[in-house]
């Protein structure tokens, strides 16, 4: 994760938990990669939302054209062989597209440069669906999903 992300997640989740507890309302968590995937409205193909980590590392998942998650979120270092087994059209979205273009060069790879950041529009529809299904988090025990442990580098 980029510098400050761990702190940002902790502060955001703490604020949400505090509000939910004080107002006695449910806590709903939303996957950022799912929000990015929801923004893709192209027809068939796969959707790979990515969040920039460092160097050539990204956080990603794969979704189908109906926005159903096919793979779990993973941290991966991109190479020329990343996603090489995929023969259908693959739509890449997120804040690391420029660095990805240098290694992800297959003809079926499409970069949607207009989709960089998650949107409240898609987040609200996902949240509403979770609300109608009573898919709530436990306010006392919910923690942000970091994917990787925090590592402090001493200079």
Question: Tens digit of pLDDT for each residue in 43-62?
Answer: 799 999 999 988 889 999 99
Under a CB-based contact definition with an 8 Å cutoff, are residues 133 and 33 in contact?
Answer: no
Same domain, 70 and 5: no
- What burial class does residue 137 get, using C-beta atoms within 10 Å of its C-beta: 0-12 exposed, 13-18 middle, 19+ buried? middle
112 and 56 in one domain?
Answer: yes
Over residues 117-138, mean pLDDT: 94
Q: What is the pLDDT of residues 80-114, one digit of tens each?
A: 999 999 999 999 999 999 889 999 999 999 999 99
The verdict on 40 and 107 lying in the same domain is: yes
* pLDDT grade for 155, boundaries at 50, 70 and 90: low
Whether 125 maps to a domain, the answer reads no
Q: Are residues 87 and 42 in the same domain?
A: yes
* 137 has pLDDT over 70: yes
Q: Are strands 90-94 and 109-111 parallel, antiparallel or unpaired?
A: parallel
Residue length, the chain? 155
pLDDT, tens digit, for every residue of 79-88? 999 999 999 9
Q: Which two tokens stand for residue 43?
A: 């027809």
Domain co-membership, 60 together with 104: yes
113 with 47, same domain: the answer is yes
Q: Which domain holds residue 149?
A: 1-27+136-155
3-state DSSP assignment of residue 110:
strand
């Amino acid at each position: 994760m980029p510098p400050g992300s761990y702190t940002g997640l902790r502060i955001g989740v703490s604020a949400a938990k505090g509000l939910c507890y004080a107002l006695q309302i449910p806590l709903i968590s939303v996957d950022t990669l799912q929000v990015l995937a929801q923004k893709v409205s192209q027809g068939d193909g796969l959707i790979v939302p990515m969040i920039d980590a460092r160097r050539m590392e990204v956080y990603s998942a794969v979704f189908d054209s109906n926005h159903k998650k096919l793979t779990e979120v993973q941290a991966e270092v991109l190479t020329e062989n990343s996603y090489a087994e995929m023969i259908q059209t693959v739509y890449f979205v997120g804040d690391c597209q420029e660095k990805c273009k240098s290694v992800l060069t297959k003809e079926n790879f499409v970069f949607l440069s207009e989709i960089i950041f998650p949107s409240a529009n898609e987040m609200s529809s996902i949240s509403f669906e979770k609300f109608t299904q009573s898919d709530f988090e436990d306010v006392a025990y919910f923690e942000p999903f970091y994917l990787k442990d925090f590592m402090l580098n001493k200079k």
